[in-house]
Amino acid sequence: MSRAFPFIRPPADVVIAGPWSYAVADGTEELPRELPDWDYDSVLSIRRPVQIDGLRARRLSGLAEDAEVDFTVRWASRSSALRGRAWRAEVPARDGIEIDIEFDLDGDELGGVLDLDTVLTLRRSTEGASPAAACRPGSVLWNEKFSIVLQGDAVLFPLAIADFHYLPYPTKASWYLEIGEDLDAAALGSILLLANERREVVVNALAAAGAPSVADRRVLSALRTDVQRALIERALTHEDFADDVDYPTGSLGAVLTAVLRMTFPAFSLEALRRERLSEPALFTSRVQDATDLLAAP
């Protein structure tokens, strides 16, 4: 079902956007929907050619010709809960404007699914606009979203391989997710996945996460479900956590909120807490269902 806007929007063809591309060693390549070889130490250098009819967009939106309009690219990482503005340009009141979008994204802020939202927005309306035209700054006149899966089935947080014999964890355990207590602290500094080097099947699956075999996918599926379970349980057991608090962007609290909403959008925080206490087996099965544990690759 299409969304109804409370103001006039121009037709989609006022923006003709070319394909996304990214820099590689010998030039550029079209940006795929998945980047299995991506890692946290990499920088994504992203490019895109765009043609905009700035005058026609204003006229067909009911805006005056001197209205101030911006063209912006916003990014958001679903695993880290970080987001920001990657690029912005003012759109002059003339047609056939050719623009080259260019920006870099640091890998240490990304992970999981990266969303790129391209938007044409009103920055300031002026006199002479139609009563049906957008009037609030930030009103979206045109938009398009592109999503990229980073790492495929790889883990979504910093990872370390260690011998659990020398750590305060069970020696035969396969992994352990360390989660901090400070909900306002940066998530990437508060969450660490430790994999036990004694469990070769796990270490090998993590090493092959960019191009996993069927067996590797099974291991990674179990790992991802358990990581998600651990994050959810930290949210449910942390006495200070609340899902209606506006935690700082990129914080541990923001990540826990995002994971809860993504996994259980139809359940309230209190309902999940009650079920975990009264029906722990059912709660565990619900997490498995929500994360599609061991689904066929």
The whole-angstrom distance between residue 116's C-alpha and the CA centroid of its chain comes to 9
Q: Is 122:136 a contact under the CB 8 Å cutoff?
A: yes
Which of 123, 150, 177 represents a domain boundary (last residue)?
A: 150
CATH number for the domain that contains residue 130: 2.60.40.2550
- Domain total in the chain: 2
Query: What is the pLDDT at residue 139?
Result: 93
171 & 249 share domain: yes
220 and 144 within one domain = no
Whether residue 133 is found in the same domain as residue 189: no
User: 230 and 127 in one domain?
Assistant: no
Question: Is residue 257 included in any domain, yes or no?
Answer: yes
278 part of a folded domain? yes
Tens digits of residue pLDDT in 248-279: 877 899 889 888 888 898 899 999 999 999 99
97 and 219, same domain (yes or no) = no
Q: Are residues 128 and 247 in the same domain?
A: no
Single out the residue in 132, 150, 168 at which a domain terminates: 150
Decide if 4 is inside a domain: no
Mean pLDDT, residues 18-39: 85
Nearest by Cα to 155 from 189, 195, 112, 119:
112
User: Considering the entire predicted model, what is its pTM?
Assistant: 0.59
> What pLDDT digit, counting tens, does each position of 32-79 carry?
887 766 766 678 899 999 999 999 999 999 999 999 999 999 998 766
Question: Are 142 and 167 found together in one domain?
Answer: no
DSSP 35-97: ETT--TT-EEEEEEEEEE-HHHHHHTTT--TT-EEEEEEEEEETTT--EEEEEEEEE-SSSSE
- Structure confidence at residue 148 (pLDDT): 86
Quick check: is 52 in a domain?
A: yes
69 and 173 belong to one structural domain: no
Mean of the pLDDT values across residues 169-179? 95
For residues 194-201, give the mean pLDDT. Answer: 95
Q: What distance in Å separates the CA atoms of residue 207 and residue 73, rounded to the nearest whole number? A: 33
- Give pLDDT tens digits for 127-146: 999 999 999 999 999 999 99
Report if residue 2 sits inside a domain: no
Regarding whether 47 and 142 lie in a shared domain, the answer is yes
- Structural domain boundaries enclosing 75: 12-150
Task: Tell me: do 256 and 178 sit in the same domain.
Answer: yes
**246 in any annotated domain:** yes
What value does the mean pLDDT of the chain take? 88
Question: Which stretch, 55-69, 110-124, 203-217, has highest mean pLDDT?
Answer: 55-69
Asked whether residue 288 carries a pLDDT value surpassing 60, the answer given is yes
Whether residues 274 and 220 fall in one domain: yes
Residue 297: inside a domain, yes or no?
A: no
d(CA 142, CA 214) in angstroms, rounded, equals 41
- What average pLDDT does range 4-25 have in this prediction? 90
Asked if pLDDT for residue 1 goes beyond 70, the answer is: no
CA pair distance 80, 65, nearest whole angstrom: 40
Last residue of a domain, one of 96, 121, 150: 150
Are both 174 and 100 inside the same structural domain? no
